[in-house]
Amino acid sequence: MSGETVAPANTAGSGHTAGSGHTAGSGNGRGQGGSWVLRRVRPLGGDPVDVLLTDGIVGAWRPAGSTSPDSEGLPPGTTILDTDGLILLPGLVDLHTHLREPGREDAETVESGTRAAALGGYTTVFAMANTTPVADTAGVVEQVWRLGLDAGHCDVRPVGAVTVGLAGQRLAELGAMADSAAGVRVFSDDGHCVSDALLMRRALEYVKAFDGVVAQHAEEPRLTAGAQMNEGEVAARLGLPGWPAVAEEAIIARDALLAGHVGSRLHVCHVSTAGSVDLIRWAKAKGWQVTAEVTPHHLLLTDDLVSSFDPVFKVNPPLRSARDVEALREGLADGTIDCVATDHAPHALEDKETEWAAARPGMLGLETALSVVMETMVVGGHLDWAGVARRMALAPARIGGLPCTAGDPGSSLAVGAPATVTLLDPSPRRVVDADALASRSRNTPYAGRSLPGAVRATFLRGRPTVLDGKVV
């Protein structure tokens, strides 16, 4: 991708690197990052057009290749990017990110995590509440939200804890978090299940007052005491205590019934089993407000990888069987599962370079998610790019209550919509190098694996956060 700056910029002849395409006076002040033309870009993988981003919004669509530095109507200082063949997607939204700050800044910070997010094509991440201290008060969620603003790589929407200290005993001040500057709408004890049925019912009911949603980490704790991996043939062989599918499915069934009973919104985190897909399909057929996410790793990886005993493959819920993977892909394709969420979970080396049982569960995901979805869903024909946009941007935005797209799920790339977009080059395959990732941690399960596609640029309300595959 190369850029060319429109006259009367005083940098004529030096504008061939997209990253240096800024021009004096072009976008300072309102932080909108100037004007950009994406030449011959393919919105949602469709026919090429020239798309103008200006004043933080999508300005105009023009015929492919028709824009040149002296075209009519271009704001002064507009940079023309050669984006021939790149796919234009709405900026990706991750409903499930662990940024680790405050508390484990050695594993990740808001700055490093959102940098990784931008490189992965994300423009909004929902930061999970299991930090130290726990994000269970207005003070903590505002702190995280401000750190996100300061970093500026993408929007950070804090998730509030459902219960005080994630202890599952009493409700946190959900309303105070909703009313805070962070405007929390998603509440989750993720990492822990809200296993008490009565407490879960109350949480579901309570958040209706501010159109909140409870995102449940579905894991019946009694059935998973000591569990280390998916219960099944591989676990039987390796002698690792099993994490049975029923521990997830029993909670999903119960919570769906509760959500139906009280008429509330339930979101199911990281669905991992074929049975869970069936239950969510059933709940949706009932007309209940149940949504669900699946992680990239559950779409690609299976539990036989645990045979190496390398804890980089340890995650919660655990990697499942090939049959489950197939059901998850089908569920995501037919819309039973609404969206992809990364469950990006950075861990310091000492928490992963251990024996299996001592290692902490979790995998990096932000910088590889789009490639994994392309590999598992697009290459195999399960989804087209419009489908990817729905499941990685529009649906999570809607579930998370983001104002910019709420109520207008098709709007993202239309003229007048926020210029919050991602450009993907679908052609290259690259081998994942853990050391090259922007995350502070190295626990990617894809190291050494070849994946398709590369994010070339990310724009947040018209301002590039990533250009030429590098953070701006």
Partner 1 sequence: MKRHLLSTEDLSRDDALLVLDTAERMARVAEASVRKLPTLRGRTVVNLFFEDSTRTRTSFEVAAKRLSADVINFSARGSSVSKGESLKDTAQTLEAMGADAVVCRHSASGAPHRLATWVRGSVVNAGDGTHEHPTQALLDAFTMRRRLGRVDGLAVTIVGDVLHSRVARSNVWLLTTLGASVTVVAPPTLLPLGVSSWPVEVSYDLDAVLPKSDVVMMLRVQRERMSAAFFPTEREYSRRYGLDVDRAARLADHALVMHPGPMVRGMEISSQVADSARSTVVEQVANGVSVRMAVLYLLLGGSGETT
The catalytic site residues sit at: 343
CA distance 65 to 115: 32
Among Zn ion, partner 1, none, residue 235 binds (CB under 5-8 Å by kind)? partner 1
Mark the segment that binds partner 1 (CB under 8 A) among 74-82, 256-264, 346-354, 425-433: 346-354
Q: Is 166 helix (H, G, I), strand (E, B) or coil?
A: helix
Binding residue (CB under 8 A) for partner 1 from 69, 152, 183, 244 = 244
The β-bridge partners of 41 are: 49
Contact residue for Zn ion among 22, 42, 104, 217 (CB under 5 A): 217
CB of 309 to partner 1, least distance (A): 3
Under the criterion CB under 8 A, does residue 322 sit at the interface with partner 1? no
Collapsing DSSP to helix, strand or coil, 268 comes out as strand
In DSSP notation, 436-451 reads G-SSS----TTTT-EE
Q: Which is nearer to Zn ion, 4 or 249 (CB)?
A: 249
Of 357, 406, 414, 436, the one binding partner 1 (CB under 8 A) is 357
The residues with which 90 forms a beta bridge, in sequence order, are 421
What does the alpha-carbon distance between residue 215 and residue 175 come to, in Å, rounded to a whole number?
16
| Residue 356 contact, options Zn ion, partner 1, none, Cβ 5-8 Å cut-off depending on partner type | partner 1
46 binds partner 1 (CB under 8 A): no
Grouping H, G, I as helix, E, B as strand and the rest as coil, residue 2 is strand
The minimum distance between CB 192 and Zn ion, in angstroms, equals: 8
Site residues for Zn ion, window 381-420 (CB under 5 A)?
A: none
- Site membership for partner 1, residue 233 (CB under 8 A): yes
Question: Which C-beta is closer to Zn ion: that of 359 or that of 467?
Answer: 359
Q: What is the x/- site pattern for partner 1, positions 69-108, by CB under 8 A?
A: ----------------------------------------
- CA 442 from chain center: how many Å? 18
Q: Calculate helix-pair angle for 138-151, 110-119, nearest 10 degrees.
A: 50
Contact 79, 15 (CB under 8 A): yes
Q: Does 297 bind Zn ion (CB under 5 A)?
A: no
Number of Cβ atoms within 10 Å of the Cβ of 197: 13
For residue 107, the tally of other CB atoms under 10 A from its CB is: 26
How many Cα neighbours within 13 Å face the side chain of 184?
33
166 Cβ neighbours under 8 A, 6+ residues apart: 129, 130, 134, 136, 189, 191, 192
The two three-digit tokens of residue 198, written as one number: 């009565």
Alpha carbon distance 61, 404 (integer Å)? 20
**Contact partner, 25, from Zn ion, partner 1, none, Cβ < 5-8 Å per class:** none
Cβ neighbors of 370 (< 8 A, separation 6 or more) are: 92, 120, 121, 388, 392, 422, 424, 453, 455
- For partner 1, which residue of 158, 242, 331, 445 counts as binding (CB under 8 A)? 242
234 makes contact, choosing from Zn ion, partner 1, none, with CB < 5 to 8 Å by partner type, with partner 1
Answer for which of 13, 239, 287, 448 binds partner 1 (CB under 8 A) is: 239
233 binds, among partner 1, Zn ion, none (CB under 5 to 8 A by kind): partner 1
Q: Which of 142, 190, 249, 324 binds Zn ion (CB under 5 A)?
A: 190
Window of 70-78, 94-102, 348-356, 425-433 that interacts with partner 1 by CB under 8 A: 348-356
Residue 28 makes contact with partner 1 by CB under 8 A: no
* Total site size for Zn ion, rule CB under 5 A: 2
Which one of 72, 355, 403, 448 is in contact with partner 1 (CB under 8 A)? 355
DSSP for 384-404, written as a single string: -HHHHHIIIIIHHHHHTT-TT
Distance CA 99, CA 457 (A): 22
Q: Closest approach of Cβ 219 to partner 1, in Å?
A: 18
Which is closer to Zn ion, CB of 217 or CB of 265? 217
- What is residue 421's three-state secondary structure? strand
The entry of Zn ion, partner 1, none that residue 17 binds, CB within 5 to 8 Å by partner kind: none
Rank residues 215 and 300 by Cβ distance to Zn ion and give the closer one: 215
Strands (E), 143-216: 155-158, 186-187, 213-216
Contact 215, 95 (CB under 8 A): yes
Q: Which of 358, 379, 406, 436 binds partner 1 (CB under 8 A)?
A: 358
Report whether 372 contacts 296 (CB < 8 A): yes
Smaller CB separation from partner 1, 217 or 314: 314
| Cα–Cα distance measured from residue 361 to residue 235, given in angstroms and rounded to the nearest whole number | 16
Among 2, 68, 308, 450, binds partner 1 (CB under 8 A): 308
Q: Which of 2, 66, 68, 354 binds partner 1 (CB under 8 A)?
A: 354
Sole window of 89-97, 135-143, 233-241, 361-369 interacting with partner 1 (rule: CB under 8 A): 233-241
Instruction: Summarize as ranges the residues that interact with Zn ion (CB under 5 A).
Output: 190, 217
Residues forming the site for partner 1 (CB under 8 A): 228, 231-242, 244, 308-310, 350, 353-358
